[in-house]
Every structure is written in C-alpha cells, then in structure tokens.
Amino acid sequence: MNTPRLTVIGTGYLGATHAICMAVLGFEVLGVDVDQAKIDRLASGEVPFFEPGLPELLAKALESGRLRFTTSFEEAAAFGDVHFICVGTPQKQGSHAADMTYVDASVAALAKHLTRKALVVGKSTVPVGTAARLTAMVKELAPAGDEIELAWNPEFLREGFAVEDTMRPDRLVFGVASAWAEERLRAAFEPVLAQDVPVKVTDLATAELVKVAANSFLATKISYINAMAEVCEATGADVSDLAEALAFDTRIGGRFLRPGLGFGGGCLPKDIRAFMARAEELGVGQAVGFLREIDGINQRRRARTVDLVTELAGGDVRGKKIAALGAAFKPNSDDIRDAPALDVASTLHRLGAEVTVFDPAAMENAKRVHPELTYGENALDAAAGADVVVLLTEWTEFREIDPAAMAAVVGTAAIVDGRHALEPAEWRAAGWEYRALGRP
Ligand code: UDX
C-alpha cells in the first residue's frame, strides 16, 4: 500500500517532536493545533520549548517542504491518511483523574470532517477504555462512519532525549482492532521499524495500559530507593552506597534507582494518580493501592529537603538567605511542571527565607509561575551571601562547581545536596558542611 500522509493533532511537547521527526524521516506531515501563536512559531522555525537537537531538525523539516502547520481540522481531515492525536491529558482540578477535555475535543473536531477511509491513532496517555469510547464517538461523528478506525500507539519519550526516543525508540506498541490498522501503522513507522526496533502488536486496552504500567513501575523504583533513604536516615546508613550495591544485581539494575528529591514533571506524578483513579472506577483500586504510598514517599522527600535546609540554617529559615540551584523538574529541560525543585524553593520562601533561584534553562518559566522568588544570574551569583545552598536539579554545570570558589562567595559554607550529585569528600575538604537525604 501507499505511504500514508500524516497529521499530528496537538503540537505541544509530544506532538511537535513527533511531527518534526516524521517529516525528517520522509513523510508528508501536517501539524495541527488550536493555538494560532504556537502554530505561527513552529511554522517560522521556532521550537516553543527547550529540547536538544529539535530546533535543527525543525529547520531541516521545513526546508524539505514536507512539514506544514495549520489550525484547520478541515484541512487536516482532507490531507491525512493517518491522524496522530498528541494533545495533553493533565490532572483534573480537584481530582486525581485525567482531564480528557482536549482529547475528546480534538477527536470530535477531526471526526466531523473525515469523509474517506482513515486511521485515527491515539498517542496521548489516557485512562484504559478511552480508545473503545473514542471508537464509538468517531464512527458516529464522521461522515465516513464505519470506514474510520482507531488505534493506540503510546508514546514513551523522555524530555531531553525526545528526538532519540522518537527516531529510535526502545519499542513500539501498536494497539489495533484490525489487520488493516496494523498495516497502516507499520507503513506510518516504516523507517523506524527498518532499524529493527521491536514492535508489540496488541489490543487497544493493553496498549493504553502499557504506558501507565511503565510509568508506575519507574515511579515505584524511584520511591523504593527513596523509602530506603528514609530508613537510612533513621539508622545512620548511607543510601547512596546501598543503591550502588543493589545495582550490581542485574535483576534490579541501577537505572531509576537514584535517591534524592524524587520525581516530578508532566508525566510520572499525574500518570500514577490517573491510574489510581481509573482503577478505582474499574473496581480494582486495591490492585494499585501501593501507588498512593509511592506518591506519598515522593512528596515526603520534598518536605525532608526543606527540613534539612532548616537544620543547616540553625532551626529556622526566617530571614535566612537560601540559594536554590535548579528549578526544572530534571536537568536538560526547561519544564517546571510539578517540579520538586520549585516546590522546595517556594516552601522555603513561604517559611520566611529569602530564596534566590538559578537554573540554566528554566528561568523564564520559573519567573512566570513564581514571581515572588528572587533570581540570580548564575550559580555563584545566586549563592552570594547565602546561609545555606541547596542543590535541587542535577545539571552538569552544578556538578562541576568548584567548592572552593563557591565557599568564597557564600555567607556560610553549608550545602544540602538534594540530588546526590556532588562528591561529599571534595566539598567537606573545601570547608563545607555537606548534607544529603539518606546519608550520614
Ligand atoms: C517520563 C518517562 O521516562 C517516559 O517514558 C514517559 O513517556 C514520560 O515520563 P520524563 O517525564 O521526561 O519521562 O522524565 P524522566 O526522565 O523519566 O524523569 C522523571 C523524574 O524522575 C524526574 O523528576 C527525575 O529527576 C526523577 N528521577 C529519575 C529520580 O528522582 N531518580 C532516578 O533515578 C531517575
């Protein structure tokens, strides 16, 4: 069969990356969004978020003539053979459940214009059962009716590695209801599959579940080691050594076993909560009840970091100068959604500290959401006169700070390493009082 023309509906983090990479791989792609400003920026060659390698690929894709952008669903329906749904599913206000407004609205807006056989492919992270519900909705709304099929192809991309994860993912999952849908998906990923990327073909519900199961597992692994950190703190043991020793067991492995301030971002926290909410609805809430503990352990790391800073500040942070290194939820990202770093910084501010933040990429985003905090020009500037320095996001440039140079600018040489990113012996040798979660 012919090479499909692709549309990508929702040009946020996931959609923009998918659209750009697919065009680079040789497909004709139309990116669609309701946000005219976002579409204008992309069409002019500007990636609206921080992602290494993506601006260069956007330029290349635009130059090839294979990538265009629009706000018209009518145009998208006329153009595309395979339509990827990439809109967000944030946490609902006042509930743990996922907000399905954007998915439902975009699928409905597209369906109304589908007049010939086409495949609609969900990539967004959704509660299991969504694909079945959308299938019925699409068939009812689309003029082409039963000719329209739905498939699910969950996305596993990591921020900071989005290009790599899209071009050469560790696996593809195709949730399909027919052989035709599978064939269309294989055609839509032909250059990716040609690199021997494994593909798991399954039903719609399983494909939806793979994503939340994977993220729950990763969150569990992080909170597991952070729970061990709590035990270490009560006994004088060292969680860093413990994690390293565990990692030698290849059944356990060392990845996502880094203790510290815990997970944040636009995915892990909201995905485990939405999973709990959906499991409750299905009457199997008990099966994933442990995720409540995982979430709780993760939140306690933030509180414990504030406690450590308070201890180093002499028991009270009121009026104390605190330097907060990091704002993004992880390094190599400007994303501050549910960022543990900003959570700690703003809590310290609420407790009466004078907090100065520096982050290599997330300054603009942080200033917008937390105008009450003070911002430095660089790490040393933020640390000037500080009573306590707290490292909250493990950027390489923070790992490379010279402890002596920083000691020369602070008021008191006291540091909390919230990410186990620094070498304690080096910092202590330079005269610092060094503290980290789960370490003596
Ligand atoms: C995650 C999943 O990895 C990805 O597959 C999914 O599609 C989207 O969610 P991302 O949100 O980019 O990707 O972040 P990730 O790199 O997984 O990190 C999540 C959080 O865990 C970060 O806050 C990070 O600092 C923290 N983390 C990670 C730890 O605290 N310890 C670790 O050992 C690893």
- Specify the pTM: 0.95
Whether the domain at 6-202 and the domain at 218-436 fall into the same CATH topology = yes
Nearest CA to ligand 1 atom 19: 263
For ligand 1, whether the C-beta of 263 sits within 6 Å is yes
For ligand 1, whether the C-beta of 157 sits within 6 Å is yes
For ligand 1, whether the C-beta of 197 sits within 6 Å is no
> What is the residue-averaged pLDDT of the chain?
97
User: Residue 329: its pLDDT value, please?
Assistant: 97
For ligand 1, whether the C-beta of 215 sits within 6 Å is yes
Alpha helices in 236-316 (DSSP H): 239-247, 268-281, 290-312
Atom of ligand 1 nearest to the CA of 267: 9
Distance CA 320, CA 430 (A): 22
For ligand 1, whether the C-beta of 258 sits within 6 Å is yes
Helix (H) or strand (E) holding 179, with range, is helix 179-188
- pLDDT per residue over 7-45, tens digit each? 999 999 999 999 999 999 999 999 999 999 999 999 999
Nearest CA to ligand 1 atom 18: 263
Which residues are CB-neighbours of 204 under 8 A, at least 6 positions away? 131, 132, 135, 150, 151, 152, 175, 176, 177
For ligand 1, whether the C-beta of 420 sits within 6 Å is no
Distance CA 245, CA 229 (A): 14
> Mean pLDDT, to the nearest integer, of 180-196?
98
232 is catalytic: no
Per-residue confidence at 328, pLDDT binned at 50, 70, 90?
Answer: very high
Distance (angstroms) between ligand 1 centre and the Cα of 268 equals 7
User: Residue 138: its pLDDT value, please?
Assistant: 97
Distance CA 120, CA 83 (A): 5
Distance (angstroms) between ligand 1 centre and the Cα of 144 equals 41
Distance (angstroms) between ligand 1 centre and the Cα of 262 equals 9
For ligand 1, whether the C-beta of 304 sits within 6 Å is no
Walk across the sheet containing 354-358 and list its strands: 374-375, 354-358, 321-325, 388-391, 414-417, 433-436
Distance (angstroms) between ligand 1 centre and the Cα of 374 equals 27
CA angle 212, 256, 272 (to 5 degrees): 25
- pLDDT per residue over 376-428, tens digit each? 999 999 999 999 999 999 999 999 999 999 999 999 999 999 999 999 999 99
CA angle 244, 422, 386 (to 5 degrees): 145
Report whether CATH 3.40.50.720 matches the domain 218-436: yes
67 CB burial (10 A radius; 0-12, 13-18, 19+): buried
Between residues 1 and 250, the one the model is more confident about? 250
- pLDDT per residue over 217-234, tens digit each? 999 999 999 999 999 999
Q: Token match 């214009």: residue?
A: 113
Residue 270 in tokens: 């909201």
What is the residue extent of each domain of the chain? 6-202, 218-436
- pLDDT per residue over 147-177, tens digit each? 999 999 999 999 999 999 999 999 999 999 9
Q: Is the pLDDT of residue 365 over 90?
A: yes
Atom of ligand 1 nearest to the CA of 331: 25
Q: Is the pLDDT of residue 120 over 70?
A: yes
Atom of ligand 1 nearest to the CA of 215: 2
> Mean pLDDT, to the nearest integer, of 277-295?
98
Atom of ligand 1 nearest to the CA of 265: 11
Residue 408 in tokens: 């020369």
Distance (angstroms) between ligand 1 centre and the Cα of 192 equals 24
- pLDDT per residue over 44-69, tens digit each? 999 999 999 999 999 999 999 999 99
How many other CB atoms are there within 10 angstroms of residue 311's CB atom? 14
6-202: CATH class? alpha beta
Per-residue confidence at 2, pLDDT binned at 50, 70, 90?
Answer: confident
User: Residue 1: its pLDDT value, please?
Assistant: 61
